[in-house]
Amino acid sequence: MVAKNRRPIDCGNVRVQFVARHDLANTSVVEMNTPRGRMRLSSREATLLEIVGYADQCGGLDHVASVLSELVESVDPSMLLAAARLCPIVWSQRLGYLLEATSARVLADVLADHVRRHARTVGPLVRAKPLTGAPRAARWRLAINETVEPDL
């Protein structure tokens, strides 16, 4: 993620696509040492929200659910709530639903109250698909317009 639009770059057989986010400076980060110096990375909590928010760029919700199931054990619930307050509410709705579906009940419960207080409309689980006729997850104010099957 970058603060301003940037063209994709090709590195051999790999194409790197940048996602611009105007409020990137508010994202929770951690610093890591690498052989090339220090690098700022999104915190695990912010990463969970971002991969749900940008699921299309991350290989779809099935892949996101797989990654999510690997990260949840090391997520701090209070930091997840803090990160959720800085993101669009629909990201919390989607993440809460996926956490609940992957048996990460403690983290899902942390987001449930946030969603209850801030979600004003029913959001789509998948942004590009219609809401009409989709079953609803009342706790998450979410239209379940796709079946999610983690690639475990």
4-20 pLDDT per residue, tens: 888 989 989 998 888 87
User: What is the per-residue pLDDT across 32-71, written as a single tens digit (0 to 9) for each?
Assistant: 999 989 988 889 999 999 999 999 888 899 999 999 988 8
Residue 112: inside a domain: yes
Tell me, what's the pLDDT at 17? 84
Q: Whole domain around residue 97: which residue ranges?
A: 9-143
Count Cβ atoms below 10 Å from residue 90 Cβ, excluding itself.
21
Confidence of residue 80 (pLDDT cuts 50, 70, 90): very high
Angle between helices 44-53 and 61-71 (to 10 degrees): 170
Mean of the pLDDT values across residues 117-135? 93
Q: Is residue 23 included in any domain, yes or no?
A: yes
- The verdict on residue 99 lying in a domain is yes
Q: Which one-letter amino acid corresponds to residue 133?
A: G
pTM of the model: 0.86
Query: In which element (H, E) is residue 33 found?
Result: strand 29-34
17 falls within a domain: yes
Please state the domain count of the chain.
1
- Say how far apart CA 43 and CA 148 lie, in whole Å: 24
- 148 domain-assigned: no
Residue 4 maps to a domain: no
Within-domain flag for 18: yes
Instruction: Please name the helix (run of DSSP H) or strand (run of DSSP E) that holds residue 123, with its range, or none.
Output: strand 123-124
